[in-house]
Amino acid sequence: MVAPVTAALLIIGDEILTGRTKDRNIGYIAEYLTGIGVDLCEVRIVPDVEAEIVAAVNALRTRYTYLFTTGGIGPTHDDITADSVARAFGVAIDVDPRAVAMLRERYQPGDLNEARLRMARIPAGADLIENVVSKAPGFRIDNVFVMAGVPAIMQSMLDTIAPTLKTGARLIAETIEAEGLPEGIYAGGLSEIALAHPLVSIGSYPSFSATGFRNQIVVRGKDAEAVAKAVSAVHDLLRRLKGDGAPI
Amino acid sequence: MVAPVTAALLIIGDEILTGRTKDRNIGYIAEYLTGIGVDLCEVRIVPDVEAEIVAAVNALRTRYTYLFTTGGIGPTHDDITADSVARAFGVAIDVDPRAVAMLRERYQPGDLNEARLRMARIPAGADLIENVVSKAPGFRIDNVFVMAGVPAIMQSMLDTIAPTLKTGARLIAETIEAEGLPEGIYAGGLSEIALAHPLVSIGSYPSFSATGFRNQIVVRGKDAEAVAKAVSAVHDLLRRLKGDGAPI
């Protein structure tokens, strides 16, 4: 059995906490990591405050295989992620010649002012993560990956990072439509199935629209046979409850 | 000066961490709380695991004025929020007659099975939060508000909760378009403005689309005069940089 590979995600930025910017990175990263066999176990959103970033980085990097961060690596005064990560690791931070070389692909020497050089500040010992969109790199230090907050840039950085990651068994998720059955009717039977199939986790997800509730049951697990058995049990349950199979 | 009122938000659910469901509550709640003068300071997303929920509830409720949670209060076995919150507070939990009365508005006595009665399990000492959509209530215990995860239900619960909250001064946020100026050009001047206006926080937010980067500068603060002064300073900076004012 492949050992699980876990991850946390840290979203950094006042703009998310004030609601000014609606996050589009969490869902993308969650789906992406799940798809490659990395289990996202926790997400936090913190403001542009160094002590908060340092505390969250240290809490999360020590607990999970990987920590990914987004946001706060631009040229303005509120971009304090690199300095905060350096502090979290207790390492020095300075303008990195490799990062300057990357910025030179975009900026003429005269345009590479102090603010833009801020984007080349990289903690000692970090490896750079290429940015094909706007050149200012992200970086990896130990098990922490620091990425941009702009979705297009973050997504390309994640594509660069993914092949370097350890991965575990991929989560298999099967979705079953409850087709009109209310949660309260199948909940008892579903609970019994969950108990009888300890290798899978089963979730029930109602959504609500103008046409009323729609319920979906999701069976998740890393053992294909165990998932298939539980899915089959759920189908049997729904059939019985709809009355076109054997009575309960 | 009004004392600040702070809050954290805890999103509970495997479906968010696996990317199966894309969260729509964080941005809504962030904007809503900011709008009424409650400062959202931290968000966490944790899985449907009791120990994780208990740890997050206790970490967040002791640190902020309020904690809001979403998700995990339905009738199925994976809905463990109420039990987890009871454990976090070290109080008993049982089927609550007030909650049963609410459920009776929707369900005939014969339909109120064991699973549905699970939705009436409320920690001792909690007040109920009405659910006009599907009747199963949320609850408040001390400074923790437990809400549904389905956005329409959560939103109506938040409307019910809001008038009962202490609120602080509302955050004033003014957005200034950088109108084609790149961040790296105004970053130095913006940093000086940020230093000279300690009562406000200033953020710079690039977004990227097919037409290239667009930058917005946001000045936030609770003192209208301080915000106005900083906004004016930002406008002056941008004018100077665009060359239609006095040189820098």
B51 interface with A at CB cutoff 8 Å:
no
Q: Which of B133, B88, B87, B135 is nearest to B108 (CA)?
A: B135
Q: Say if the Cβ atoms of B77 and A16 lie within 8 Å.
A: no
Burial class (CB in 10 A: 0-12, 13-18, 19+), A110: exposed
**Looking at residue B57, what is its pLDDT?**
98
C-alpha–C-alpha distance, residues B73 and B82, integer Å: 7
Q: Which DSSP helix (H) or strand (E) runs through A146?
A: strand A144-147
Max CA pair span of chain B: 80
Whether the CB-CB separation of A56 and A10 falls below 8 Å is answered with yes
Does residue B246 carry a pLDDT above 60?
A: no
- A246 pLDDT band, cuts 50/70/90, is very low
CA-based nearest distance A35→chain B, Å = 9
Q: Say if the Cβ atoms of A190 and B77 lie within 8 Å.
A: yes
Whole-number average pLDDT of chain B: 94
CA-based nearest distance A159→chain B, Å = 17
Query: Which residue did the predictor score with more confidence, A244 or B216?
Result: B216
**Looking at residue B209, what is its pLDDT?**
81
What is the rounded average pLDDT of the residues B77-92?
97
Does residue B93 carry a pLDDT above 90?
A: yes
The beta-carbon neighbor of A27 closest among B22, B75, B171 is B22
- All structural domains of chain A, each given as residue ranges with its CATH number in brackets, are 6-164 (3.40.980.10), 172-242 (3.30.70.600)
Does residue B248 carry a pLDDT above 60?
A: no
Does residue B225 carry a pLDDT above 80?
A: yes
C-alpha–C-alpha distance, residues A65 and B201, integer Å: 34
- DSSP percent split of chain B into helix, strand, coil, nearest 5: 40, 25, 35
Contacts of B224 (CB under 8 A, 6+ apart): B172
Q: Say if the Cβ atoms of B115 and A173 lie within 8 Å.
A: no
- Whole-angstrom CA distances from B94 to B37, B71, B72, B82, B236 are 35, 19, 16, 10, 62
What is the rounded average pLDDT of the residues A159-177?
96
Does residue A40 carry a pLDDT above 60?
A: yes
Mind listing the pLDDT tens digit for each residue in A55-111? Answer: 999 999 999 999 999 999 999 999 999 999 999 999 999 999 999 999 999 998 889
* Token pair listed for B122: 């409320």
A2 interface with B at CB cutoff 8 Å:
no
C-alpha–C-alpha distance, residues B20 and B73, integer Å: 18
Does residue A43 carry a pLDDT above 60?
A: yes
Q: Say if the Cβ atoms of A204 and B76 lie within 8 Å.
A: yes
β-strand pairing of B93-95 with B121-123: antiparallel
Q: Say if the Cβ atoms of B201 and A14 lie within 8 Å.
A: yes
* Token pair listed for A42: 């926790």
**Looking at residue B195, what is its pLDDT?**
97
Does residue B244 carry a pLDDT above 80?
A: no
Q: Say if the Cβ atoms of B184 and A107 lie within 8 Å.
A: yes
Answer positive or negative: Cα dihedral of B158, B16, B84, B5.
negative
What is the rounded average pLDDT of the residues B77-106?
97
What is the rounded average pLDDT of the residues A100-123?
93
C-alpha–C-alpha distance, residues B248 and B237, integer Å: 8
Does residue B245 carry a pLDDT above 70?
A: no
- A12 pLDDT band, cuts 50/70/90, is very high
- B213 pLDDT band, cuts 50/70/90, is confident
Q: Which DSSP helix (H) or strand (E) runs through A218?
A: strand A212-221
- Whole-angstrom CA distances from B22 to B14, B18, B150 are 11, 9, 12
A104 interface with B at CB cutoff 8 Å:
no
Whether ipTM tops 0.90, in short, is yes
Mind listing the pLDDT tens digit for each residue in A205-243? Answer: 998 888 878 999 999 999 999 999 999 999 999 999 988
> In sequence order, what DSSP letters do the residues of B43-55 get, joined into one string?
EEEE-S-HHHHHH
**Looking at residue B128, what is its pLDDT?**
98
Give the number of A-B residue pairs with CB atoms closer than 8 Å. Answer: 216
